A and B are shown apart, each in its own frame.
Chain A
Amino acid sequence: MTVANDILSPPTPGGSARSAPAGLPGAQVPRRANWAWLGLLPFAFFAALFLILPIVYLVTGAFQTPDGAFTFDNLIALTGSAIAASYMLSIKLSLVSALFGAVAGLLLSWALVLGGLPRWVRGAFVTFSGVASNFAGIPLAFAFIATLGRLGIVTVLMRDVFGFNLYGAGFNLFSFWGLALTYLYFQLPLMVLIITPALDGLKNEWREAAESLGASHAQYWRMVALPVLAPSILGCFLLLFANAFGTLATVYALTGSQFDVVPIMLFAQIRGNVLYNPNLGYALALGMILIAGFSNILYLVLRSRAERWRA
């Protein structure tokens, strides 16, 4: 440790001053290049210790028996009934909430960008979305309990004023659909924030060109606008999916550990080894890394593809 620290402490101030006399260009250039990477050490050290190594530890643990021998048993055990059901539930909830968030967000962004409403409406929604997309977790759960819980304001209002019993009609905030609705409160704003720039990128000239070629409004959307937007929309959908998949605090505050999505199961495993096998816990984490990582990285790829149109 101390040796590493001795190497690490100088790079930014002292070490670089020694290696990079930048006032004298020319002859010094090759030597400078040799030492430049030293400046990366603090960041690389931090990232390795607190980001890469913990992930590598879990991933390798997923392929080991408790004694350290190589095995695929943990991954195979993921297909066991309880864990597979948990993954299915998580994926279903994330898909539903991403789908609703993406469709609702797209409609709202369309209304804001192309709906012909006053400018300030858009400004207000975008500002609000910036706040709401960060208003997740426990306070969000509290807000929905106060609104749509059994004694929530809206539930009571419906019962007393309209004579409609929400919970009698089958709604339950602490169920699959209740969670999906709660997620929508941060999914919809997130969608608005990332898809609005894409809608801005639809050029007027494209519409004019389509119309002058005799395309109808519907044809323009079906054959020009939506294909251009498709990578953005699909990418945003994947981001919302990953966002919902990793959500823990909101579920925990709403349903405790009753609702067995994967993060809740992993939470219980970390706290109390409920699976009775630490390496199975690592495999559970590996599954989360793969699903969240895959959808997030695909989102990044699609986003860079979509930016082609925004010259």
Chain B
Amino acid sequence: MKISRIVALIIVLIAASFFLVPLYATFQFSLQMLRGQWSLQAYRSVFSDPQFLSTLSYSAVASLAAIVISTLIIVPTTYWVRLKMPRVKPFMEFITLLPLIIPPIVIVFGYLRLYGSDSMLPLTVSTAGTNVMLVIGYATLSLPYVFRSVDNGMQTLDIRTLTEAAEILGASRATIIFRVILPNLRAAIVSGAFLTFSISFGEFVFASLLNRPAFGPYLVQIGQDRAYEPAALAVLSFALTWACMVLMQIFANAKPGTSARRRPAALFPFARRKTA
């Protein structure tokens, strides 16, 4: 028993150093821009580059737009499937997994060929169209994460009771989705959103092949031109990824709409029995 504990300790120490050494080394490297002293010069250089802020905000806006689109597609559909057509759920699960199964470069390759100049929907020929294409691409990539977190969120929600309660009070279908279901899923949606954001803010393949001024292609450019700024950017990216994941965890563990869920169930205990 004792030996297994020592072996476990050794494994954990090796793994910890494998994880932490590159992080520490990157941080130290980023401080060495000025010869013979520690300085934040590399960070100053990064922040003084106007392209840094413009590409980062471009990517942030594209990611946010993608999150909104996929939420608007996923939430009503998941709600509808759970309520009316539970048999379709495995099909939906499979479709939303596809962006994880098919490599992203294949998906964007398809976009470029399908929505090129001689297409019915020539999105990739104008700047605005290409921006839309990028947002759609990110929305597609986010489907697995948004669907998963929304579906998990709905699992803890008695949507049937909520729906019936709202209907008894005279709510229309749109009101139910936007004023009952959506607020109750707030935590789940935000959790999926942070995960999506952490994946798409530095995304390279879509942005590069669609030729957009996004953060990923900017990173590659800096990696080719500079020595110390890439390390600083890696530290910043890691911090941003970390922040997104921590926030995602917090929202994923938050009980979705606890108070709102309890109220209708307690007020209308008969609602379930009525149609059963």
CB of A75 within 8 A of chain B? no
Name the CB-closest residue of B to A267. Answer: B105
Instruction: From B28, B74, B102, give the contact of A293 (CB < 8 A).
Output: B102
Q: Interface residue count for A (Cβ, 8 Å)?
A: 89
Q: List A131-164 residues whose CB lies under 8 Å from chain B.
A: 131-132, 134-135, 137-148, 151-154
Is the CB–CB distance between A137 and B204 below 8 Å?
Answer: yes
Q: Interface residue count for B (Cβ, 8 Å)?
A: 91
Is the CB–CB distance between B234 and A146 below 8 Å?
Answer: yes
CB of A215 within 8 A of chain B? no
Q: Is the interface of A mostly helix, strand, loop or mixed?
A: helix
Is the CB–CB distance between A104 and B73 below 8 Å?
Answer: no
Contacts of B143 in A (CB 8 A): 47, 51
Interface 0/1 of B103-133, CB less than 8 Å to A = 1111111111110000011000000000000
- The interface centre, meaning the residue of B99, B167, B230 with most chain A CB atoms within 10 A of its CB, is B230
Determine, out of B52-60, B80-88, B262-270, the stretch whose residues face the partner at the interface. B80-88
A289-B106 in contact given A12-B174, A139-B219 (Cβ < 8 Å): yes
Interface 0/1 of B220-250, CB less than 8 Å to A = 1001100100110110011001100100010
Is the CB–CB distance between A42 and B223 below 8 Å?
Answer: no
Contacts of A146 in B (CB 8 A): 22, 25-26, 29-30, 230-231, 234
Instruction: From B76, B173, B230, give the contact of A142 (CB < 8 A).
Output: B230
Cα separation A61 to B204 with both chains bound (whole Å): 25
A249-B174 in contact given A40-B80, A51-B99, A53-B110 (Cβ < 8 Å): no
Contacts of B167 in A (CB 8 A): 22-23
Is the CB–CB distance between B4 and A112 below 8 Å?
Answer: no
Q: List B52-79 residues whose CB lies under 8 Å from chain A.
A: 73-74, 76-77
CB of B209 within 8 A of chain A? yes
* Given pairs A51-B99, A146-B26, 17 additional interface contacts (CB within 8 A): A36-B85, A39-B81, A43-B95, A50-B137, A54-B110, A61-B113, A111-B7, A116-B4, A125-B16, A130-B249, A134-B241, A135-B237, A138-B237, A141-B223, A249-B205, A285-B109, A289-B106
Residue ranges of A at the interface with B (Cβ–Cβ < 8 Å):
1, 12-14, 16-17, 20, 22-23, 25, 32, 36-37, 39-40, 42-43, 46-47, 49-51, 53-55, 57-58, 61, 104, 107-108, 110-112, 114-117, 121, 125, 127-128, 130-132, 134-135, 137-148, 151-154, 184-185, 188-189, 242, 245-246, 248-249, 252-253, 256, 263, 266-267, 270-271, 281, 285, 288-289, 292-293, 296-297, 300
CB<8 Å pairs between A and B, sample of 30 = A22-B164, A23-B168, A39-B76, A40-B80, A42-B76, A43-B74, A54-B107, A108-B12, A110-B8, A111-B11, A116-B8, A117-B12, A121-B12, A131-B242, A134-B195, A134-B245, A135-B238, A138-B219, A139-B241, A146-B29, A153-B25, A153-B26, A153-B29, A188-B15, A189-B19, A253-B219, A263-B105, A270-B209, A285-B109, A292-B101
